[in-house]
Structure 1
Amino acid sequence: MFYVGSYTSDKGGNGVGLTALRPDAGGLTQVGELAMTSPSWLTRHPTEPVLYATNEAADGAITTVDLTTFTAVDTVSTGGADPCHLAITPDLRFLLCANYISGSLAVFGLAADGRITGRTDLVTHEGSGPDPERQEAAHVHMAVPLDSPQGTLVSAVDLGTDEIHTYRLAETGELERLAVSALPPGTGPRQLVRRPGTDVAYVAGELAATLVTVREDPIGTFTPLGVEQATKTPYDGDRNYPAHLEFVGERLYLSNRGPDVLTEFDLAPAAVADHPCGAFPRHFSIVDGVCRVAAQLDDAIVSFPLAGGEPTRFATGSPTCVIPG
């Protein structure tokens, strides 16, 4: 099963909310639909039949969906505006939420069955960057948890301030500031992924259209090592806005909105291929060698095998996120 979030009319989109799709020989078939306000990011609970969706609106919220009945069972305020990312801590006790417009990071407790029990903390970043339109204030875009010898750490990527803020997460769900790491000015960091088994991580620079390699030493502190352009082929269009960054095996993949390609990197890192993937690829998932892309401006999920082959399209309004479930 795959689940697709979309922008709805409140955000200028034409999606209906959350859609459930089943892969078959012909591509994808819709098996369920659930109306809700702009579920721009989806996260599946690792062990329970529960999915969480950010409702990206001025009055931000998280909707909990029971996947056995495909119904919304709870909605809670995020404490901020335009939530755009969710992550579950390794011990499954907390849910992290990045509030983009508010520049804040919220923490929520989770019960054993995956239900949200309440907000345990909310921290707000301050600062700005050199881009007057996009970096006029702090804009938290992602929170990445890590199980470390120091306990659970949370690294929050701030597009507005060109920083990564790392916190220690207490047993009670409160955040304690540990470190702030600076990235090159104007990077506009959107996402962070760690390379498993190493002290190396990679950052998608949305505003500079770059992939930044960083070293994490000590844990929670990030030092830039190098900067690569976000595509293999130089882009001569107006702007490129890199979006989703993901590891699959020994490859790193980055979606690029503008060139409209999924760029494949080796771990040097060096770009080895640009895969056409539909207009404005906001998010993607790769399962069994097949990439499924939320091509927001094509109103479609575009699927194609990374090894080569013809793409297929499933029409759906303004998709923002596609995850396996």
Structure 2
Amino acid sequence: MFKSISRRNFALGLLAGTASIGANRVSHAATGADKLPVPPPPPKPVSKTICFVGGYTQHAPPGGAGNGQGIDVFEMNRETGELTQITTYTDIASPSFIVLSKDDKFLYALSEIDDYTKQGDGSVTAFAVDTKNGSLRKLNTVSSGGAVPAHLSIHHSGRYVLVANYVGGSVAVLPIRSDGSLGPATDVVKNTGPRQPERAADNPQGNFAVSDHSGSHPHMIRSDPSGRFVIADDAGLDRVYVWTLNLTTGKLIPAKKPYYDMEPGSAPRHFEFNHSGRMMYNLCEQNSKIVVSTFNPETGEINNIQKVSTVSSSFRGSTLAAEILISKSGKYIYVSNRLGDSLAVFAIADDGTLTLQAETWMHADYGRAMMFDPSGTFLFCANQRSDAVTSFKVDKNTGQLVFTNHFTPVGSPTTFAFMNTQV
């Protein structure tokens, strides 16, 4: 039985049906819009590892000219250790040693030259560093306080740059201004002493290499980890000098015992401290030995307890030790040997003494400076005569080195500095 529907009710029903269909269509359209793919958020910025490499350029003292262009800037692949070049800062001559401030905001580079002033000084240049990408902006350049500087460091206080002038036979203190630029030297100290032999008596057998002992040749200067003392290796006088630094005047004051004599002819070159600052490892260039000493951070006193060779007992021939580093863990010491072209790995015992664990081929010629990347995963070596940087993966448990098979072309490289960019 069908219910009778009036024309009016029929018309109203049609209108209601149409509205319902329209509503369904709107609802369907809205649901479809919601299902459209939403673009992913932009990737979050991540920090990068930047590597600065300096070395010898054409403008250098006679016999020291090189193939470098200035300070090369690379990005390091954190997985493989491979270096990819970003740029080269060319407005500097022979930046053979560079150092970054603790906050990575400033970089200081010496120029291993002898004509910055009429007196024959070298120079030190201050750069502002863009911590987001590693780019450099020159601030100023000042005299290094002597000819042909070979090393510089930032004092523990962060208020001074310390410079070792190799040919000039002097060490200098340069004040750091509030904007990171450098002021003229507040102190320049010249060392004197008797002439030493060209070779040490305990040379490796068959070593014909010699070190310059014609006079004072400071090769490294740095404060100890406590910041109480400033120490310098003089490779020409075979001495280790110890001072305190007056932070107000920037003057060096000789310690109670102002210097320590090393093996005649041994040419102390670079040193390293253990993490406590109570053990000192001094690398002697000419006889390729590490002198292990206790160090008293209260008095600056140094007492030798061991001497070990940086080459194995079977080695014969010429060699010159170059650089010394301590691992991030504090368990291993690493040394580069020029001419012999090897990297030596030493285990550090509980009493601080060393045992040679292994020697690794550099895969290149005349390796000088070494440096770990910020994570301590890779060790990089600057091979001056091969015009290349080589890298090694570090086994943090055993200290062993494994060649990465990466060669980075750099003209006459001699020095490194690493930083992680800020985001």
Aligned twin of 2:205 = none
Aligned twin of 2:66 = 13
- CA–CA separation in structure 1 for the residues paired with 2:277 and 2:53: 32
Amino acid at match of 2:254: R
> Pairwise mapping of residues 200-219 of structure 1 onto structure 2 (< 5 A)?
200-217=279-296, 219=299
- Deviation string, structure 1 residues 24-60 (Cα, Å, up to 9, x no partner): 3671111111112100101001125211111001130
- CA–CA separation in structure 2 for the residues paired with 1:48 and 1:228: 35
User: Displacement of 1:70 after TM fit?
Assistant: 1.7
- CA–CA separation in structure 2 for the residues paired with 1:156 and 1:313: 33
Amino acid at match of 1:137: G
Which of 277, 282, 290 aligns to 2:368? It is: 282
Residues 305, 311 of structure 1: 8 Å contact kept: no
- CA–CA separation in structure 2 for the residues paired with 1:40 and 1:204: 19
User: Displacement of 1:66 after TM fit?
Assistant: 2.1
Aligned twin of 1:97 = 163
Aligned twin of 1:169 = 245
Amino acid at match of 1:191: H
> Pairwise mapping of residues 158-307 of structure 1 onto structure 2 (< 5 A)?
158-171=234-247, 172-178=249-255, 179-197=258-276, 199-217=278-296, 219-232=299-312, 234-237=314-317, 239-248=318-327, 249=329, 250-267=331-348, 268-277=353-362, 278-287=364-373, 288-307=376-395
- CA–CA separation in structure 2 for the residues paired with 1:256 and 1:271: 14
- CA–CA separation in structure 2 for the residues paired with 1:48 and 1:262: 28
Change (3 A) 1:110 1:280: same
Secondary structure in 2 matching 1:298: coil
TM-score scaled to structure 1, two decimals? 0.94
> Pairwise mapping of residues 90-169 of structure 1 onto structure 2 (< 5 A)?
90-127=156-193, 128-131=195-198, 134-146=212-224, 148=226, 152-169=228-245
Which of 152, 166, 189 aligns to 1:86? It is: 152
Amino acid at match of 2:406: T
Percent identity over the alignment is 28
Amino acid at match of 1:226: Q
Aligned twin of 1:34 = 89
- CA–CA separation in structure 2 for the residues paired with 1:264 and 1:177: 34
Aligned twin of 1:43 = 99
Secondary structure in 1 matching 2:220: strand
- CA–CA separation in structure 1 for the residues paired with 2:188 and 2:403: 46
Where structure 1 has 5 or more consecutive residues not aligned to the other structure, the ranges are none
User: Displacement of 1:236 after TM fit?
Assistant: 1.7
- CA–CA separation in structure 1 for the residues paired with 2:320 and 2:303: 23
Number of aligned pairs? 322
Residues 152, 170 of structure 1: 8 Å contact kept: no
Residues 110, 124 of structure 2: 8 Å contact kept: yes
User: Displacement of 1:147 after TM fit?
Assistant: 5.7
Aligned twin of 1:65 = 127
Residues 387, 413 of structure 2: 8 Å contact kept: yes
Secondary structure in 2 matching 1:105: strand
Residues 300, 316 of structure 1: 8 Å contact kept: yes
- CA–CA separation in structure 2 for the residues paired with 1:255 and 1:21: 22
The root-mean-square deviation of aligned C-alpha atoms, in Å, is 1.8
Residues 225, 277 of structure 2: 8 Å contact kept: no
Residues 41, 86 of structure 1: 8 Å contact kept: yes
- CA–CA separation in structure 1 for the residues paired with 2:183 and 2:322: 31
- CA–CA separation in structure 2 for the residues paired with 1:301 and 1:152: 35
Secondary structure in 1 matching 2:183: strand
Amino acid at match of 1:182: D
Amino acid at match of 2:178: A
- CA–CA separation in structure 2 for the residues paired with 1:112 and 1:17: 26
Where structure 2 has 5 or more consecutive residues not aligned to the other structure, the ranges are 1-49, 115-120, 200-210, 396-401
Residues 128, 180 of structure 2: 8 Å contact kept: no
Residue 317 (structure 1) aligned with residue 407 (structure 2): no
Residue 4 (structure 1) aligned with residue 85 (structure 2): no
- CA–CA separation in structure 2 for the residues paired with 1:41 and 1:235: 30
TM-score scaled to structure 2, two decimals? 0.73
Secondary structure in 2 matching 1:219: coil
**Structure with higher strand content:** 1
- CA–CA separation in structure 2 for the residues paired with 1:202 and 1:184: 15
Secondary structure in 2 matching 1:39: coil
- CA–CA separation in structure 1 for the residues paired with 2:229 and 2:108: 21
- CA–CA separation in structure 1 for the residues paired with 2:230 and 2:371: 23
- CA–CA separation in structure 2 for the residues paired with 1:96 and 1:198: 19
- CA–CA separation in structure 1 for the residues paired with 2:403 and 2:215: 43
